Amino acid sequence: MKNQKGFSLVELLVVVIIIAIIAAIAIPSLLASRRAANEASAVQSMRTYHSAQSTFQALDTNRNYATTPGALAGLVDTILSGGGTITKSGYTLTMTGVAAAGVNPSAYCAGASPQNTTTGTNHYGVESANGGVVEVLATTLGCTGGGLTTNGAPVQ
């Protein structure tokens, strides 16, 4: 018989088991990193909305805020100024202009809620009343009178 060289079944199984162990360790870290990146994107989107709203108000002759994300076209990227439901990096973004006594918006609120628990765990919001401080909210965005109805802790 010829001298045959190759891997035995046991050696192949050992390699497969080692790869499975490495994958079991790496995948949760990968998912946590992705979730952290999604949350950082949501916070930055809130900051972008605040900056755009400040610019919009400065340029508006009546010193009003924008009523919808679409009104901020040209001040924010096309994703953030899109119509309908805005989703970015696993978060659903909303923005509301709040009218006082029937006039154009004198205040605004914006929020970001995770689409599910794998894309993020925190809800974020920003409002005109608190100087653009992004807050971690307990629930989805609630906005009345230019203020968040569920105030939270400021994002560090």
DSSP notation for 50-73? HHHHHHHHHHSTT-PPPSSGGGGB
Q: Give 134's contacts (C-beta < 8 A, 6+ positions apart).
A: 43, 46, 47, 50, 124, 125, 126, 154, 155
Indicate whether 1 pLDDT > 70: no
Percent of the residues in the chain that have a pLDDT greater than 70, as a whole number: 87
Neighbouring CB atoms inside 10 A of 103's CB total 9
Give the integer Cα–Cα distance in Å for 102 and 63.
15
Residue 115 near residue 90, CB atoms below 8 Å: yes
Indicate whether 128 pLDDT > 90: no
Mean pLDDT of the chain: 87
Indicate whether 12 pLDDT > 60: yes
b/e map 29-46, b = 16+ CB within 10 Å: eeeeeebeebbebbbebb
Mean pLDDT lowest among 29-43, 84-98, 117-131, 132-146? 132-146
Output the pLDDT for position 148: 67
Output the pLDDT for position 151: 66
Across the range 28-43, mean pLDDT stands at: 94
Indicate whether 145 pLDDT > 70: no
Instruction: Give the pLDDT confidence of 53-87 residue by residue, as tens digits.
Output: 999 999 988 888 888 899 999 999 999 998 778 99
Work out the pLDDT band at 150, boundaries 50, 70, 90. low
Output the pLDDT for position 102: 57
Q: Domain coordinates of the chain in residue numbers?
A: 9-154
Shortest CA distance to 121 belongs to which of 34, 59, 14, 48? 34
Task: Say how many CA atoms lie within 13 Å of 156 toward its Cβ.
Answer: 0
